[in-house]
Amino acid sequence: MNDLEIVEIINTALARELELDPARLTPEASLFDDLELDSLDLVDMVIVLEQAFNFKIREEEEVRSIRTLGDIHQFVIRKKHHLEGNS
């Protein structure tokens, strides 16, 4: 799975779960201000990502510092590469 495929999976999963217009899913989009998500959405977003990529991230400190969609992309890409490097 390359980085573009990871981004595509993330955007598709979040668009479906959170009913977001794909056109709004730019890397610089702020989760709170631009996509108008809140704390409940973030909890469910983590569950969706865990299911999409079959990993556990809920307890990871870095999740709490995510602010933009691009932050999510980069976090998941790093996590995937880390897991693949360890496998």
Partner 1 sequence: MPLNRVVITGMGAVSPYGNGVEILLDSLFSGKNAIQTLPEMEQIKGLKSFVAGIVPEIDSKTIARKYRRTMSKMSIYAALAATEALSQGKVEPYLFQTGDLGVAIGSTIGSIGTMENFFRDYFSDNSLERTRSTLFFQIMNHSCAANVSQMFGIKGTIIAPSAACASAAQAIGIGFDAVASGKIDMMLCGGSDEFHPLFTGTFDLMNAASTHFNRTPSSTPRPFEQNRDGVVCSEGCGLILLESLGSAKRRNADIFAEVVGFASLSDPSSIANPDAQAIRDCMEKALKNAGVNPDQVDYINAHATGTVDGDIAECTAIGALFGNTKPVSSLKGHLGHTMAASGSLEIIGSIGMMEKKQIIPTLNLDKIDPMCNKTRHVQRVESAAIRYILKNSFALGGVNSSLVLRRYGNERFGNR
Q: Using CB under 8 A, list all residues that contact partner 1.
A: 18-19, 36, 38, 40, 43-44, 47, 50-51, 56, 58
Q: Whole-angstrom Cα distance, residue 34 to residue 62?
A: 21
Instruction: Using alpha carbons, select from 4, 16, 22, 10 the residue that is nearest to residue 66.
Output: 10
As measured in angstroms, the least distance from the Cβ of 84 to partner 1 is: 22
CB closer to partner 1 out of 3 and 36: 36
Pick between residue 13 and residue 74 the one whose CB is nearest to partner 1.
13
Q: What is the smallest separation between the CB atom of 9 and partner 1, expressed in angstroms?
A: 18
Tokens encoding 47: 């569950």
Contact 48, 76 (CB under 8 A): no
DSSP 21: -
Question: Based on CB atoms, which residue is closest to partner 1, 7 or 35?
Answer: 35
